[in-house]
Amino acid sequence: MKPLPVLVLCLLLLMQCGKKESGDATPTPAPTSPKTPPSTTLRQAAPFPMGAAVNINLLKTRAAYSSVVKTEYNSVTAENAMKFGALHPSEAVYTWTDADYLVEFAQQHNARVHGHTLIWYKSLPNWVTNYPGNTAAWENLMKTHIQTVVAHFKGKVAAWDVVNEAFEDDGQLRNSIWRQKLGVDYIARAFEYAHQADPAALLFYNDYGHEYNLTKRTAILDLVNNLKSRGIPIHGIGLQMHTSSNIANANLANAIQTAAQTGLTVHLAELDIAMNRDGVATATFTPALAAAQKDKYKAVVQAFKALPAAQRYGITTWNVGDADTWVRGYCSCPDWPLPFDENYQRKPAYDGMVEALH
């Protein structure tokens, strides 16, 4: 296959989080029951938490999906259920049902809950985007949302992506509604507000592009190092790792290593590895692609495992099986970026992860 043009790859990665929200509506094939799982699972094999971002509707209604989450993972992230628009649809209304369901599920199955996300420039309800208040009112809006959400889950959610995707690809601070209304230091105050609400929770900055955009990565590292030097309560850095088969293993490893050099805890927070780089509508998942994907997953996990144990927060894939990936909805094309296939059977990518863990 020809390499994906740089512009197309950048557009795909730039749009990832916005498109992830459409995952609930993407048609998926009828499920099939998984085979009896072998004795080895990801959660058993790994010396750090292994997680998945989950679709709450699928968790409730699709037995095969739920079974994999229970069996394989000891950390879960809400794909959409803890975003601003889902939790706080109007100024005086919070809707906790789906997020509470995930927390209860995790408690029942001895899994950690990672909160995603408190402040992001997307997934905002109309009452926020049209909010008429002055600077003080906007500050109160942000503080109230953060502290209400974090307090609701205090002692139940281990960590939060406090701020998500604050940078453009050119390394400039994104001109989001938060920056427009609250100035460039809204990020630091968001961390302070979250820490006040739950001093025990680990607090992360989360973003994409570390493995392919040196300019952006430098800006992110400068931010987190600045927050640390000022005594702002930041504990971790999330590398989304929505990546592709054409990203060199050395680039993947370097991204992980440079994040660890901050001294913060590192989370591979939204891992998937796209294989149909040209978006070919007739593409199929060949044995050669499966082998290449296996090698790439193995390389990512090996690089993460090489970090000091105290800095390994864990690895989270962005959803569970290929039928549920945001990538297909974005490109309107076949792709197979996850370690489980459409029927939640283990792929060679899964074997690559386990090999790296041993």
**Which positions are annotated as active-site residues?**
165, 270
The residue type found at 155 is G
Burial class (CB within 10 angstroms; exposed 0-12, middle 13-18, buried 19+) of 229:
exposed
Cβ contacts of 102 within 8 Å, gap of 6 or more: 54, 56, 59, 76, 78, 81, 113
Tell me the sheet residues that pair with 243.
Answer: 273
For CA atoms 252, 258, 262, 263, give the dihedral sign: positive
CA separation, residue 169 to residues 161, 218, 222 (Å):
19, 11, 15
Strands (E) across the chain are located at 50-54, 75-78, 112-120, 159-164, 202-207, 236-239, 242-244, 265-274, 312-317
CA 315 – CA 25 distance, rounded (Å): 26
CB atoms within 10 A of CB 36: 5
What are the angstrom distances between the C-alpha of 45 and each of 101, 174, 302, 316, 355? Answer: 27, 39, 13, 15, 9
